[in-house]
Structure 1
Amino acid sequence: MKKLLLFSLVSGFAFQACTQGIVGQEDQATVTAGNPVIQGWYADPEGVIFGKKYWIYPTYSAPYEEQVFFDAFSSPDLVNWTKHSHILDTTNVKWANRAVWAPAIVEKDGKYYLFFGANDIQSDNEKGGIGVAVADNPAGPFVDYLGKPLIDKFHNGAQPIDQFVFKDKDGQYYIIYGGWRHCNIAKLNDDFTGFIPFEDGTTFKEITPEGYVEGPFMFLKDGKYYFMWSEGGWGGPNYSVAYAIADSPLGPFKRIDKVLQQDPEVATGAGHHSVIHVPGEDLWYMVYHRRPLGETAANHRVTSIDRMYFDENGYIKPVKITKEGVAKHPLK
């Protein structure tokens, strides 16, 4: 009886540790991260690899007046995560006072540039928009790079939020962004202080596909440009992710299908994602937020990771959201 009780306790601890993203079964061939992968209310996660570590940069999911900082999380293997607190807060961004969210990050020439939305502006007459912060380390501390927003106006009807920075195969960096059901793309200049106009003289081109709401993301695979975005309302259960494929980062993008959505047996409100591709391997991960079952508060969102697969024609298969999460995978 004592042996049976001990086995039950150990098994229970192993399961709990697994679901909390803590390694508790090192003797087994497969160790999974468990979802959510990080503890706390976090949303809009940007997943990226720097060196031999995975990183997640999320929104701190809280009322706008409390969304005044960013935390980051790093892991060598997708299972063990380290929290880096307050890598940026509004004390270092004088023009931002609330609603800092949806960070995007790139490394260039030894510097790390963190792009973020702030203040949730509703018109061109308000202060705020998309800003840039810079640091020498992916864990920060980050400081305001420009002393003002990079984008502070509505162009083509797009609210200046939800920015993603995409590096094309020719080395050109683009910023892709937009709320209010409009999405723009623009060429960033070499030092990220402004923009390079397109050949026709315009700076912001609209690339909005059918169904687009917010949360754009782009990646390259086999020479094709995969453009992804969130649909539905972020505060509800039907938030989701759809995608398109084109031969250019400018599109045109024709919606193909949804690839991420709620599973009423696992979680609701699955959306606003990013994608991690492990270099040199056919391993793709979708990093996204979702709402635990039973939670109805809009800001009660958690960050999760699940595998993403492609079929033989290069189309993305629907992502199965899980409680178990992904297997342990150290970077080479």
Structure 2
Amino acid sequence: MGFTNPVYDNNFADPHVIAVDDGYYAFATNGPLGNIQTLKSADLVTWDQVGDALPELPAWSSPGKVWAPEVAVQAADRYVMYYTTADDESQRQCIGVAVASRPEGPFVDKSSKPLICQADEGGSIDASPFTDSTGQRWLYWKNDGNAIGVDTWIYVSKLSPDGLTLIGETIRLIKQTLPWEGNLVEAPYMVEREGKFHLFYSANAYDKETYAVGHALCATPTGPCTKSGDPILTTSPDAAGPGHNMVLQKDNRYWFIYHAWDPALVGSDPPGRTMWLSELTWTADTPTVQPPLKTNPASP
């Protein structure tokens, strides 16, 4: 039995999905449902609105630009969210961290300052947690260099066991170097498979048809990383600007979850970004992502 994209046909940019005992929760950039829009599903295809997972921001931030949440599941009663929000002091977008005992929240950020705020590099956005096969926690993110006309880098640092503190060295992995990437790389997401590390990332302008997803093969969680070259997920006749993906494994199949928008909205500012699914398959260390299709032959 197939399914129809988008799986959630409302504003839901920068989606991230976690699996829990009774199904799945999805989180997204601020929108009609609140600071962190939240949905729930039993099958990844039919989604119900839950509300706002982060109803209160910390004292150092103001609402309006709460972006790109990702949640690490540490235990049945401990969920750690990394998110981007405005830092009032620097006037840049910076990364916060919040904790909840339930997947739907409420998440609470008790910090007195951002977890990461590279103000001199344009700010810090798009945090993505990753736990490797040894149990070590990592955090990936991007400096928001395109906000001030400088390079954008994908960074990584070790996380403390509780996920609340960066420890050790901060390492640069990749920056914009390929023609298709335009002025930026962003939205990192790391996958470990058969001893190799696969860094997925988005590049170019999010509101243009040229926005797409790239891939780099990394020897370790901290690199070195070699880009594959051309993007692996691009605009199709059914969807424009696919990007800010994550990867979910379900019943031995891999799924790309990402946002895209209706090609008829070219030129709108910004386009309405909805949530899409495409299957990810592998040939050795080479990932292949099904192009964005409204009608899909096989459900997750």
Same topology, TM > 0.5: yes
Name the residue aligned to 2:111. Answer: 146
Higher strand share: 2
Q: How many residues align?
A: 282
Name the residue aligned to 2:39. Answer: 73
Structure with higher Rg: it is 1
Measure how far apart 1:192 and its partner are: 2.7
Measure how far apart 1:128 and its partner are: 5.1
Name the residue aligned to 1:133. Answer: 98
Measure how far apart 1:244 and its partner are: 1.0
Name the residue aligned to 2:149. Answer: none
Residue 234 of structure 2 corresponds to residue 261 of structure 1: yes
CA RMSD of aligned residues (A): 2.2
Residue 139 of structure 2 corresponds to residue 166 of structure 1: no
Name the residue aligned to 1:49. Answer: 19
Distance in 2 between residues matched to 1:50 and 1:133, nearest whole Å: 18
Q: Identity, % of aligned pairs?
A: 25
Letter in 1 for 2:158: K
Q: Secondary structure at the match of 1:43?
A: coil
Measure how far apart 1:227 and its partner are: 0.4
Residue 205 of structure 2 corresponds to residue 233 of structure 1: yes
Contact 2:30/2:65, CA 8 A, preserved across alignment: no
Residue 288 of structure 2 corresponds to residue 317 of structure 1: yes
Distance in 1 between residues matched to 2:297 and 2:21, nearest whole Å: 20
Residue 177 of structure 2 corresponds to residue 213 of structure 1: no
Contact 1:58/1:101, CA 8 A, preserved across alignment: yes
Residue 71 of structure 2 corresponds to residue 99 of structure 1: no
Q: Secondary structure at the match of 1:207?
A: strand
Contact 1:185/1:207, CA 8 A, preserved across alignment: yes
TM-aligned CA distance change 1:96 to 1:324, over 3 Å: farther
TM-score normalised by the chain length of structure 2: 0.86
TM-aligned CA distance change 1:323 to 1:37, over 3 Å: same
Q: Secondary structure at the match of 1:69?
A: coil
Name the residue aligned to 1:270. Answer: 242
Name the residue aligned to 1:40. Answer: 10
Distance in 2 between residues matched to 1:127 and 1:319, nearest whole Å: 36
Name the residue aligned to 1:114. Answer: 81
Letter in 2 for 1:235: D
Residue 156 of structure 2 corresponds to residue 185 of structure 1: yes
Distance in 2 between residues matched to 1:189 and 1:224, nearest whole Å: 23
Distance in 2 between residues matched to 1:327 and 1:61, nearest whole Å: 30
Measure how far apart 1:234 and its partner are: 0.9
Q: 1:300 aligns with which of 245, 256, 272?
A: 272
Distance in 2 between residues matched to 1:318 and 1:168, nearest whole Å: 23
TM-aligned CA distance change 1:93 to 1:171, over 3 Å: same
Name the residue aligned to 2:52. Answer: 86
Runs of 4+ residues over 4 Å off in structure 1: none
TM-aligned CA distance change 1:325 to 1:45, over 3 Å: farther
CA deviation map 1:205-241 (0-9, x unaligned): 1111544511101011111100011111111111000
Q: Secondary structure at the match of 1:163?
A: strand
Q: 1:248 aligns with which of 214, 220, 223?
A: 220
CA deviation map 1:257-314 (0-9, x unaligned): 3111101x21111111111112xx4301001111112113224111111111112x23
TM-score normalised by the chain length of structure 1: 0.79
Letter in 2 for 1:206: R
Q: Secondary structure at the match of 1:261?
A: coil
Q: Secondary structure at the match of 1:294?
A: helix
Measure how far apart 1:190 and its partner are: 1.9
Contact 2:83/2:96, CA 8 A, preserved across alignment: yes
CA deviation map 1:50-107 (0-9, x unaligned): 2241222111358xxxx96112112111222121101113x34222213100001011
Distance in 2 between residues matched to 1:326 and 1:188, nearest whole Å: 40
Measure how far apart 1:127 and its partner are: 6.2
Q: Any gaps of 5 or more consecutive residues in structure 1?
A: 1-29, 198-202
Contact 2:82/2:95, CA 8 A, preserved across alignment: yes
Letter in 2 for 1:172: Q
Distance in 2 between residues matched to 1:127 and 1:79, nearest whole Å: 35
Letter in 2 for 1:144: D
